[in-house]
Structure 1
Amino acid sequence: MKIEQIHHVAYRCKDAKETIEWYGKYLNMDFILAIAENEVPSTKAPDPYMHIFLDAGKGSILAFFEIPNSPPMGKDPNTPEWVQHLALSVGTMDEMLGVKSKLEADGIDVLGPTDHTLFQSIYFFDPSGHRIELAVNTATPDMSKKLDDVKWQMLEEWSKTKKAPTHADWMHQKELSS
């Protein structure tokens, strides 16, 4: 068996309607499906929910659950907010910067662009507090090959030392020379 693709990724949201409108307005994602139940099919728990699905492009689906009878959403206090995020790919820097301008015009804080050598990114939060990253790929085939060649060595070293391996320090050389 081999996974074909991600069917959907689901997160919790505070308000299903607000979520659909926000993702449509800022990220041009189409609302494609809603499912609502008073009982969770997998567990049979009596817990009403609204499950919404958005088109994230090329067969990717982003889904959310609004579950009004559960305690308010929270975050893991032991995980920095930059760790858990949803990264979405866009085609060009102009597209990404256009979204940045639209978000900022409506008072939404945006961090970036950040140059990761392989891609450029901006970061912001949706209305439910999920961190979103928009990324534009900038990697060359040579860069990808260099990283592919050392990935197992880097993982082995990290596994033993829990310190960042230096196999790919070339990615940050331009930062040091700036």
Structure 2
Amino acid sequence: MHKLQTQGVHHITLDGADRQTSLDFWEGVLGMPFVFEQPNLDNPGESHLYFDPGDGRLITIFTNEDRKPTGKPAPDNPGDVHHIAFAVSQSMYSQLAGRLDARGIKHSGEKDRGFMNSIYFRDPLGTLIELASYRFVPPVGATHTDVLFEAHLIRVEMGDTSIGDPHLAIAIERLSKRNQRSLSD
């Protein structure tokens, strides 16, 4: 039996607040261009806003004028979405805490995740949002996932708990050697 084969995330759709609150957050705070809007084709009482998160894919938000920000965290039960992470550059990451503070948005402060840096905060309806920045650039011909896969193998070989800079450096070196030819080989 053949597997179903995905080719990336097509889009993510979230239930949002009212239209203006959703626009203010997704475009106004996160800087995602608002690319189009249409009715929610499964619920004509809602609108469906489409945003570009920066990679040409889509984040879509169902809005309803009766849903207002609650100030409470979204439910955290088995099967619920824990959080959604979006990529930012290291230069943007270095400014996140200050920019969130300037808007009065409570956040986690900077988190060192070994192979990336993160900061967490909530959208208007309480969904946990993570902005994350990789601490490495993959070598030519490799992806972030390729580097992390290789770094995981190295981490396990070394008996370490989590991926850090030493694992990443060796992984990048190995992938570079595989993907780039040299006459001196």
TM-score by length of 2: 0.66
Query: What residue in structure 2 maps to residue 88 of structure 1?
Result: 86
Contact persistence 2:51–2:59 (CA under 8 A): yes
Change (3 A) 1:97 1:140: closer
Deviation at 1:47, TM superposition (A): 5.0
Identical residues among aligned pairs (%): 23
Displacement after TM superposition at 1:3 (Å): 2.0
2:17–2:63 CA contact under 8 A, matched in 1 = yes
Structure 2 match to 1:128: 125
- 1:17 is aligned, of 14, 17, 20, to 20
Contact 1:47 1:67 in 2 (8 A): no
Q: 1:145 aligns with which of 146, 150, 156?
A: 150
Per-residue deviation, 1:36: 1.2
Question: Equivalent residue for 2:177?
Answer: none
Distance 1:78 1:27 in 2: 26
- Does residue 54 (structure 1) correspond to residue 51 (structure 2)? The answer is yes
Q: Structure 2: give runs of 5+ residues left out of the alignment.
A: 139-146, 167-185
CA deviations 1:57-80 (Å, max 9, x no partner) are 22221111124578x98843535x
Q: TM-score, normalised by structure 1?
A: 0.68
Structure 1 stretches of 5 or more lacking a match?
41-45, 152-165
Asked if 2 retains the 8 angstrom alpha-carbon contact of 1:13 and 1:65, the reply is: yes
Alignment RMSD, CA only? 3.4
Q: Is the 8 A contact 2:46 2:63 kept in 1?
A: yes
Distance 1:11 1:99 in 2: 23
